[in-house]
Amino acid sequence: MFLISKDKDTILLVKIVPNSKKNYLTILNDRLKINITAPPIDNRANIFLIDYISKNLNIKKNLIQIVQGKKSKLKSLLIKDLSRDDINQKILEVINAQS
């Protein structure tokens, strides 16, 4: 599963694909795949990733933090004060809206 509960917070395991033609989410077995249009240069992809998650999942930016993989396509994001179930529901809503 790509969501791990940690006290009252949640770890979101993601695989990002920078330089994509469009932004969208896909569920893989063990990660949430996030295609983003931003390039992986000068931290732009990481900044865009947090903006994208914040906007699409309706989570304040200051509650999202990259805790592992800042220079990798495989990342672990800490999302503070939100349960695994709440985040999962938000992700499913976004994926269903993309279709």
What confidence score (pLDDT) does residue 1 get?
Answer: 86
**Residue 65 tokens, joined:** 């933090």
Q: How many CA atoms lie within 13 A of 81 on its CB side?
A: 6
Res 50: pLDDT = 98
Per-residue pLDDT of the chain (99 residues; tens, 9 = 90+): 899 998 899 999 999 999 999 999 999 989 999 999 999 999 999 999 999 999 999 999 999 999 999 999 999 999 999 999 999 999 999 999 987
- What is the DSSP code (8-state) at residue 93? H
Per-residue pLDDT at 29: 87
- Stated length of the chain: 99
Cα dist. 69→14, 45, 66, 93, 99 in Å? 10, 12, 7, 26, 29
